[in-house]
Amino acid sequence: MTAIRLVYALAAAAAAYLPATASAQVRAKADVACSPTPTALQYDCIIKLTNARTNEPLSGVTLTIGADMPSMPMMHNVRPVTAAARQEPGSYQARLMLEMHGDWMLQLNLSGPLRDRVVTIVRFEPGRATLAAEPKVPSSRKH
């Protein structure tokens, strides 16, 4: 009888604990803005990290940025750089040195008190950088 009560007590404790940890899971959201420098293929990027659920700034993390060209996997990738924290909470700055213009997939790796990865695609062109259009998912409808 005591063993059954112990099992019920453990099950109740686990049930009470699991929803709290699942709802406490923090996911990051990133806004990326890059601008060219006077040096060819070099861009200064400002990354603003926020809590995806509450939109509060995420500070105190280590942010590492890697870049790879999705159109040419494993051909063009640049060495990851660590972003520096700026004065504004949740704001970071990094300089990317690319190998060519085009669409680059940026992997924003967060570590420290929060571990997460945010991936975004940026189109780097001479004189500007813009967020690339989201890839279109083919329709499942038969025509």
As a whole number of Å, the end-to-end CA separation of the chain is 64
- The domains found in the chain, sorted by start residue, are 27-131 (2.60.40.1940)
Q: How confident is the model at residue 119 (pLDDT cuts 50, 70, 90)?
A: very high
10-69 per-position pLDDT tens digit: 444 444 444 444 435 889 999 999 999 999 999 999 999 999 999 999 999 999 999 999
Stated as kind and residue range, the H or E segment containing 84 is: strand 84-85
State the pTM of this model. 0.75
- Cβ atoms 97, 128 nearer than 8 A: no
pLDDT in tens, 121-139: 999 999 999 998 755 555 4
